[in-house]
Chain A
Amino acid sequence: MHELSVVEGIRDLALRNARSAGAARILSVRVVIAEFSSYLEGALAMFWDEVCGATEAAGARLDFVRIPGELLCLNCSKSFAGGKDLRCPECGSEWVKPIIGQECYIESIEVETAGG
């Protein structure tokens, strides 16, 4: 389950950003997850509450923004949008590789700071 390590990475980054802003609590974390990032949203969400435990991120919401990817056919060189069918629409080859859409990053966090 590599999602566990990814979730820990998300938590650590969120905590670091929250602390340097002097925040007391993290309310939500917005994660951009591209179509071919190789991380499963459900698996990330499953570990989230557990890894946040007794940190300032406890109880924070994990929101996902999905972005589409693009594939390149290694047989005929056509590039095409991802989706359900990952075969090349031109030649039908299954020999394809993602050229856009492998990223997964934290876009922003919503925090609560003490004082006004």
Chain B
Amino acid sequence: MRRIWVVLVAAALTIFGAPSARAHAFLDHASPAVGSSVPASPPIVTLWFTQDLEPAFSDLTVTNESGQRVDLDNAHIPQGSPAELQIGLKPLPRGTYTVSWHVVSVDTHPTEGTFTFDVG
């Protein structure tokens, strides 16, 4: 009986392909945190996702209340941290800032999102 189950599972994996450990990339957490207020201008924004990202199709921007970009246009996935996305920031005065991201996980599932944080 046990042998039959082994054969059935092997056949299913052969037919369907072994499931890869990949899926839609959800935002796990961020720094500055989603919806948070920080006392001083942070030097970078970092997003951590639940899946590894495809670098060529993953990006983020940070804008002020007028819609002007306040980031350094250097979004990147740090070496050795394939589920992380970072961007540098210009010095930020007091205000509310919007982080907009869109990423593609390594198995091509795209996701996107926005959130705000306050400075001062």
Indicate whether A and B interact. no
Point out residues on A near B: beta carbons under 8 Å. Answer: none
